[in-house]
Amino acid sequence: MTKQEEYDTLSESLDFFEMKVKMSEDEFDLLLRECQIYNYKILADKIDDLEGEGVLTEDDEEKAEKLKAYLKGVDIPNKEDLIVAVNITYRGLKGLYLKQLKTIAELKKFTEAEKFNSEVKITLHNEFLDPFQEVTEQIMDARRRMKNKMLEMIEK
């Protein structure tokens, strides 16, 4: 394999992982929505418990009716299934972030080693790769915190 082919393979790998990360992030965002729906259902159940006690204002009752109307026809996720889905999806997403970070590190190393090689056309320079790595690490940490918040939402 030539140096150019090696570079192209790394670059294509980064593109591939970037695409896979985006798809997995979208799936994770859908799970966040599922967690919100699950919480709406818990809230609706608690409101039902309070309705007979006379502690709800007219405004509360209006909002409760809107919430119940919203939940009609919506599939309410199962708590245990939701916990499993959040954990599995997060693990997959984290694995993709780690592969993306590894590929960035390999590209940086390759770019540094071959920067004076006129036979290799380098299109991704460290001026791009350094911030890309930093942002990926920040997003990975934010997604970890989001996963923890999602699990807290479900467990309440």
Burial (CB < 10 A; 0-12, 13-18, 19+), residue 127, is: exposed
| Averaged pLDDT for residues 98-122 | 94
| 8 Å CB contact between 113 and 126 | no
pLDDT score, position 65: 81
pLDDT score, position 90: 97
49-71 burial, b at 16+ Cβ within 10 Å, e below that, comes to eeeeeeeeeeeeeeebeeeeeee
Does residue 13 have a pLDDT over 90? Answer: yes
The predicted-structure confidence for 16-57, as pLDDT tens digits, reads as follows: 999 999 999 999 999 999 999 998 888 888 887 777 776 777
Does residue 152 have a pLDDT over 90? Answer: yes
pLDDT score, position 63: 79
Going from the C-alpha of 136 to that of each of 18, 26, 94, 96, 142, the distances in angstroms are: 10, 16, 11, 11, 10
pLDDT score, position 83: 96
Phi, psi of 115 (to 5 degrees): -65, -25
List % helix, strand, coil for the chain (3-state, nearest 5).
85, 0, 15
Length of the chain: 156
Tell me the whole-structure pTM to 2 decimals: 0.85
Written as six digits, the tokens of 30 are 């859908």
pLDDT score, position 23: 97
The predicted-structure confidence for 49-105, as pLDDT tens digits, reads as follows: 777 776 777 777 787 788 888 888 888 889 999 999 999 999 999 999 999 999 999
Written as six digits, the tokens of 56 are 């709800």
